[in-house]
Amino acid sequence: MDELLSKENLEYRKRAREVADTVVRKVSAHYDREQTYPWEVLEALKKAELTGVWIPEAYGGPGGGLLNLCIVVEELSKACGGVGVAYAVNALGSFPIITGGSEEQKQAWLPSIAKGEKLIAFGLSEKDAGSDAGSLACKAIRDGDHYVLNGEKKWNTNGGVAHYYTVYCQTQPDKGIRGISAIMVEKGTPGFTIPKVEDKMGIRCVPVVELKFEDARVPVANLIGKEGGGFRNAMSTLDLARPGVASQAVGLAAGATRLALEYAANRKQFGQAIVSFQAIQFMLADMDCQTEVARQMVYNAARIVDQATDNLRHPEAIANAGGPAGFSKYSAISKVFATDMAMKVTTDAVQIFGGNGYMKDFPIEKYMRDAKITQIYEGTNQIQRLVIGRAMLRELGNVEK
């Protein structure tokens, strides 16, 4: 597979793997237990010049595009799925700026994110608006040169540690999804609080929180794009971000498979290593096959975007990437397949560990806990199947014409 990767891809993989092996793997269990943010990992990523890989050169990043982002996320997730998403969520939060922000906004916000000096979060979901993202209740009503925000956001990954929050609100509530706008809210804004930090099953090293806005005043200059353009901006952002979730899943599956293989080679039953039993070999073979297929799906989706947008330098082309069905189909395919695969592979890995797999003394149970969320966030896999099905119908209509 290395022959299909460029020298740049291999270099990013090498650096990310080194951080994963020398830093992340050593502290993964600690931060899982403590449920605190791994600041030392961020420092290691900054030192390795891996922060902001996806951000174009014009805004302080290396211009690595989506494929290199996915490669880095995969390597980090092999060691810790929580660290993988702690890294990738900064792409999720900054994609709305890259795709919809003004030149002034990009210059103001992206360079510090690229350097790892500032973290960013993405505020879309609410208690009553998860998969139904068009039912947002959080409002931002204009008052002179400011918007006044009131409402709450739920399941905000990176919340509390982030400096910037891309928040989606109703600026024209009577217009439904056409009244949704994207607004940048900075940490410390009066009226902006974090009332709850979630206690999670997995990905415990990265905070997931509630956001609350009570008459929080934000400058109109922080509006990303046009009023009413927020829903489209959010959907384009999720299309871009889903291969990152898929690469997290691939990393979790690959890491779990490696641990299961090593365990099976050393665990003896009936006088021999259990890896010598055909049943175990077949399980491991299936795990490796499924992981590799998912990896190629993810890389293919990322390449489609990078080729269409010149490594995100021309993000306006995203809507047309991938042909008549749009890039969203390929993004959804990679996400749904890879994350379902990761749940199966990590569960099989626990099975190979037997009773030990169920115990926290061994690292494998964490992989299964971390894998579960990948089927849920950034669009549940049920929603992804709807996206794929609708894209197929649009393609059918084009064929019939």
Which one of the listed residues 152, 378, 395, 400 is annotated catalytic? Answer: 378
Residue 159 has pLDDT above 80, yes or no: yes
Identify the CATH assignment for 230-400 out of 3.40.190.10, 1.50.10.100, 1.20.140.10, 1.10.150.120.
Answer: 1.20.140.10
Residues 251, 69 contacting (CB under 8 angstroms): no
237: Cβ–Cβ under 8 A, 6 or more apart, which residues?
A: 92, 95, 96, 99, 122
pLDDT band with cut points at 50, 70 and 90 for residue 326 = low
The pLDDT mean for the chain works out to 95
Domain boundaries, the chain: 2-114, 120-224, 230-400
Q: Per residue in 175-190, pLDDT tens?
A: 999 999 999 999 999 9
Question: CA-CA distance, 15 to 19, in Å (whole number)?
Answer: 6
Active-site residue, 378 included: yes
Q: 3-class SS at 288?
A: helix
**Dmax over Cα atoms in the chain, in whole Å?**
79
Topology of domain 120-224 in CATH is Butyryl-CoA Dehydrogenase, subunit A; domain 2 (2.40.110)
DSSP annotation of 270 reads: T
Q: Left (φ > 0), alpha (ψ -120 to 50) or beta: where does 176 sit?
A: left
Residue 234 has pLDDT above 70, yes or no: yes
Question: CA-CA distance, 88 to 43, in Å (whole number)?
Answer: 16
pLDDT band with cut points at 50, 70 and 90 for residue 319 = low
pLDDT of the residue at 323: 44
Percent of the chain with pLDDT over 90: 91
pLDDT band with cut points at 50, 70 and 90 for residue 318 = low
Is domain 2-114 classified as CATH 1.10.540.10? yes
Question: CA-CA distance, 28 to 257, in Å (whole number)?
Answer: 17
Residue 320 has pLDDT above 60, yes or no: no
Residue 134 has pLDDT above 90, yes or no: no
